[in-house]
Every structure is written in structure tokens, then in C-alpha cells.
Structure 1
């Protein structure tokens, strides 16, 4: 049951992150021209997308490393906590921008889709902020203790600490690269035509949350 729930969460995050990358990438070129709030919201969507992909890759890499006995369960827990600390501030920061934009879109258009997205973003932003306030301090303490070497039981702990850092870097890089590839594909697909008129594929897309 827990495995199915985790698998469902991974699929959900992949879907939301892919949409955020596509929706933001579709306005990448236009946002460079318009600038201002549009540019800000596009970058918020890209940051949120990269953070979501990073979480998915972090989870998969941790599971593989623990299953392959390259990391102990304790170091797997440290890797999760380190990954959380890396992505939570970008998630909360970009989330405020996306949340404000979705509220404005819902108020302006007042249709079910935009209202539903605004409602989800409100819940997600409140949830992420509360979770960060509740868990980030203890996670930071645990990570610092793990890497300080005070609680290391063997020489293998040093190697596992290095592996955790490498895997986290790989997950972050993978998240950024995946977002960049999807965004660039969307930018080409929904590019402005040579006359500088509206995008070929229609209405404005609102990023959702990870």
C-alpha cells in the first residue's frame, strides 16, 4: 500500500512538473519581450517544475542506492532530508508568485478551471509553508550532525556521505535539465510568429504547483 501511494505521488509530481515546464516554456519568448510580472511568473513556473522533478529523481535515486546497499537506511534518510532542504525554499518562493498569479487569473476569468487551480495553489502553498516551518529546523540539525562526523560508526560513513552529496547534485541537475528541455520544446511549439502577434496555440496557461 505504501509503495502504491509513493508511486502515485511520483506520477502526480511528474505530471505537475511537466505541465509547469510546458506552461512556462510556452511563454518563454513572449515573457522576454513583455518582461515584468509575466517574466517573473514564467520563472516561478520553471523553478517549481525543476524542484518537482528534483524531488522525483531524489526519491528514485535514494531508493536505488538503499536497495543496492550503497547507502544504509540512515544515510538514505539523510539524503531525503538534504534534498528537502535544497528544494523547499525555491518551492515556497516560486509558489507565492504562482499562487498570486492564479488568484488574479481566477478573479479575471472566473471559470471552473482557473478557480480549481487557484484553490489547489492556495492549499499547496499553505501546506508547503507549514511543513517547512515544522520540519526544516529538525531536518537541518540531522543533516548537519550526519555530515559533521560526530555520529559516524565506521569509515564507510565518509564514503556514503560523499555519495549522498553526489546523488543530490545529480538529482538537482536532472531536475533543471528536464525542465529546460521541456520548456525549450514548448517555446518552439508555441512560438510567436514573425509578425509578433499572439502565440499560435492560443490562451494563456497558468502553472500549477508541485
Structure 2
């Protein structure tokens, strides 16, 4: 099940890069809200990729005996605390935009995207409000229980590598897909349909 969820998260992040890449040049030229949406999609992709990278690296370190369970939990919690606010903020913007698009077009694809975005956003908000943030704070706090600095350093390095890897992969993929769509006339903007 976890492999399926990781593959799904990776695939959604890749789709976000494909969609964002398609409007990247347009959003740069037009600016305004289309640029905000492009950055929201890029942020969602980077977060998704970093979750996969962090999990895989953390699992390898844990399974090989180089990372105790407490450090693995602390690293996952630190990553969560760093990404939850950007994830919720950008997710809300994308969700609202997907509702607007679905209302305008009434196409099955756009309504499906809006539905997915709505459930994803609701789930993320529920998880954060249902103790996700407080649990994560507790797990990060557990890293400081010992006087040994290496668990903290290991968790910080793992999270930094995961985040940097997610950002780099997003940058590369958006660059690969940038310019694949023609720019429309000024005043018209192409919406983002991929969700988070």
C-alpha cells in the first residue's frame, strides 16, 4: 500500500510539473494571478517529490540501521512542520481556482479535478487540525531529549536533502515542459487543472 501511495504522490507531482510547465512562460509574460497559480502548482510538486525522496532515504537509513526510529519520526515530523503551511496555502488557492474553472466550463475533467482538489484539501486540513501539527511538534521535541546532537543533525540533513531534491526535480521538470503550449493573447490566461 505504501508503494502505491508513493507512486501516486510522485505521479501527481509529475503531472503538476507538466501542467505548470505548460503555462510557465505564459504566467511569466502575463504575471498576476496566473503567475501565482503557476508558483502554487510548482510548490505542490516540490512538496510531493520531497515526500517521496524523504521517505525513501529515511527508509534506507532506518532499514540499514543508520537511523533509530526516534530520529526517523523526528525527521518526518520536521518535514511535515516545514511543508504543512505552504501545502495548505497553495492547495487552497488551487482548489478555489479549480472550483471557478469547473463552474465556468462544466466539463467532466474540470469537475473531476475540482472534486479531487476539494477532497485532498479537506483531508490535509483535517489531518493538520486533528493533531497532526501537535504530534509533529512532539516528535521533533523528542529529538532534543538527549544531549547528543547527532540525531538532530541527521534529521535536519535528511529533511534538507529531501526538500532540496524535491525542489530540484520540480525545477528540472518544469523547465523540460516549459514552452510546450503557445502563448495566448494578453488578457487571457490558461488555468491550472492539476491538483495537489
The equivalent residue for 2:60 is 64
The equivalent residue for 2:194 is 207
Unpaired runs of 5+ residues, structure 1, are none
| 1:19 paired residue among 8, 15, 18 | 15
Residue 190 (structure 1) shift: 3.1
Structure 1 CA distance, aligned partners of 2:34 and 2:191?
A: 11
The equivalent residue for 2:136 is 139
Larger Rg, first or second structure (1 or 2): 1
The equivalent residue for 2:151 is 160
Alignment coverage as a number of residue pairs: 192
Structure 1 residue 178 and structure 2 residue 165: aligned? no
- Cα RMSD over matched residues? 1.8
Report the secondary structure of 2:47's partner residue. helix
- Report which structure shows greater RCO (CA 8 Å, sep ≥6): 2
Whether the 8 Å CA contact 2:27–2:35 is kept in 1: the answer is: yes
Whether the 8 Å CA contact 1:29–1:191 is kept in 2: the answer is: no
Structure 2 CA distance, aligned partners of 1:164 and 1:27?
A: 36
Report the secondary structure of 2:156's partner residue. helix
Unpaired runs of 5+ residues, structure 2, are none
Structure 1 CA distance, aligned partners of 2:138 and 2:176?
A: 40
Structure 2 CA distance, aligned partners of 1:205 and 1:101?
A: 8
Structure 1 residue 97 and structure 2 residue 93: aligned? yes
Structure 1 residue 9 and structure 2 residue 5: aligned? yes
Residue 13 (structure 1) shift: 0.3
User: Which residues in structure 2 correspond to 1:44-59 (within 5 Å)?
Assistant: 44-59=40-55
Whether the 8 Å CA contact 2:37–2:93 is kept in 1: the answer is: yes
